[in-house]
Chains A and B, each alone.
Chain A
Amino acid sequence: MHVPVWHNGTAQWVKEGKLAILGVTQEQHADRCRLFAQWQGFDWPILQDPINVLEALAVPILVAIDEHGIVRSTRPALAGFKADFLDKKFADDAPPETPRRTTPAIKEGSREPDWDALRALTKKNNTAVDWRNLGDALVLWGGDKSLEEAMVCYARAVEIEPKNGLAWFRLGVCHRRRYESARAQSTDFQEAINHWGKALDLDPNQYIWRRRIQQYGPRLDQPYSFYDWATKAEKEIRARGAEPILLTVRPAGAEIAYPVKALPGAATARAPDPDGKILRDVAGLVRAEVTVVPGQIRPGKSARVHIVLRPDPKWKAHWNNEAEPLRLWVEAPKGWRVSERLLTVAAPKKPVTDEPRILTFELVAPADAGGKENLALYALYHVCNDADGQCQFLRLDIPVAVVVRRGTP
């Protein structure tokens, strides 16, 4: 990988005080980057830009900046780095910096902006840019408690300016972050994907935005495995006698999948309840959340469907793990291909648990597809509820609508 090569190639100069390295990570999860840095031995400061305020179109980007803050190379080569940059004397010969800030202003000596002043200014100006700016400040400096207010700001920005791709992207980031929090709403993941899709439609060359969708998307559309390195990193760090950085959201499913050139055909499987005889979960002991990535699929292209099944705390519902595993049956429309028709989730060893169970599969639309298509899915599970003490084997029908969008990709 490019960055570790630079880290190793410049380590001596950093040690001698001739060079400072400043990293900026363009990803949502700071702890994943911390684990990566721990694994690679990066000992330089790394900043996080989860909402792409620097507006990088792709990564990695390396820029050599001299002691006056003047850019000397935007594509440095390690081979000539010492002679062409480190050993050179540069004059302070650039015009004064254009007063362009790329990140929200914070108070000198503080970790935050003056919120009252910033909110008042935003309200007064009432432009998409001001609302987006306030949203940026809330995400970067307001902490987790400010997420909902940031979402309101970005929503206002796109209401004023529907073609504001930056605001759409950042609104999507907020939804995904909330989805991974204790305040998750059942639609947050799909909304994140849809907002990122809108942003990418406005700027198809924005690869940072594209990667966010691909991170959760089908293997046919993945450029590489995003987080397959995490398990290896943890193992190697432990072998060195250290404890790896704990990941708050463990990469799984699409995030650790490898790209494929063709979707393997689904193995022959028999529908577990072909006649629909199993009792339906009419009380809603288990709730299903559906997310399709990308939000709109092109004819002949693929999508990944994420199904999350959660026992409803309202019923004090929980899985009965002593019975057979949870199953999901996928019935696709004619002409559509799916990676798997029958999916199962292995149960934990404990007899009773109430964790969300995640199942994902991929599908490919036929070349002549168009409009809205419906997939008929159902899950079969053993669930108990402490409200009345019953344990049942139930079926939950899960309709999945997939929108096929024709036109220019």
Chain B
Amino acid sequence: MRPYPLILVAALSLAASDFAHAAPYSPKVGRRHPDFTLPNIEGGKPVSLSDFRGKKVLLIQFASW
């Protein structure tokens, strides 16, 4: 038996429908930043923005070029 069948299907349905309305990245001052999860460049472990809840965060999107 899989551990999270109902919760996950619900989350996935939500994810799919939300993707339909995805728009270019444009965080709004005074609004909560949408959560995201991406692999760490050191080992690929998933890290979410929400892991930092409770701390002041400077989010930097960049490229080495």
Contact = CB atoms under 8 A, between A and B. Distances in A.
A116 B5 CA distance: 10
Contact of B61 (A56, A67, A113): A56
A240 B43 CA distance: 24
Interface in A61-104: 61-74, 76, 85-86, 93-104
A25 B11 contact: no
Contacts of A358: none
A309 B54 CA distance: 55
B33 A114 contact: no
A141 B13 CA distance: 18
B25 A111 contact: no
A4 B61 CA distance: 13
A60 interface: yes
A46 B28 CA distance: 22
B41 A30 contact: yes
Nearest to B19: A129
B8 A97 contact: no
Contact of B24 (A18, A55, A86, A95): A55
Interface stretch (A32-40, A368-376, A382-390): A32-40
B40 A45 contact: yes
Given A48-B38, A59-B61, A70 B25 contact: no
B24 to A, nearest CB: 5
A275 interface: no
A117 B8 contact: yes
Given A33-B41, A105-B11, A67 B54 contact: yes
Contacts of A22: 47, 49, 52, 57-60
Contacts of A266: none
A323 interface: no
Interface in B11-61: 11-16, 18-25, 27-42, 44-47, 49-50, 52-61
A62 B29 contact: no
Contacts of A86: 56
A211 to B, nearest CB: 7
Contacts of B53: 67-69
A61 B56 contact: no
Interface stretch (A187-195, A222-230, A330-338): A222-230
Given A30-B41, A101-B34, A105-B12, A57 B24 contact: yes
A36 B44 CA distance: 17
A107 B44 contact: no
Contacts of A71: 27-33
Given A67-B56, A103-B38, A61 B46 contact: no
Nearest to B5: A117
A85 B49 contact: no
Nearest to A108: B4
Interface string A15-50: 000111111111100111111110000000111110
Nearest to B7: A108
A133 interface: yes
Nearest to B32: A97
Contacts of A70: 30-33
B38 A24 contact: yes
Given A57-B25, A111-B45, A121-B9, A65 B36 contact: no
Contacts of A141: 39, 46
A97 B27 CA distance: 12
A3 interface: yes
A290 to B, nearest CB: 25
Contacts of B3: 107
A62 B31 CA distance: 16
A122 B62 CA distance: 32
Given A62-B58, A67-B53, A114-B5, 12 more contacts: A18-B56, A27-B65, A57-B25, A59-B63, A61-B61, A65-B49, A74-B27, A98-B34, A100-B22, A101-B35, A105-B12, A141-B46
20 contacts: A19-B57, A22-B47, A27-B65, A30-B41, A34-B41, A45-B40, A47-B39, A49-B38, A56-B61, A59-B61, A62-B58, A62-B59, A62-B61, A101-B14, A102-B25, A105-B11, A107-B3, A108-B4, A121-B9, A125-B16
Interface of A: 2-3, 6, 10, 18-27, 30-37, 45-49, 53-57, 59-74, 76, 85-86, 93-108, 111, 113-114, 116-118, 121-122, 125, 127, 129-130, 132-133, 140-141, 166, 206, 211, 215, 224-227, 229
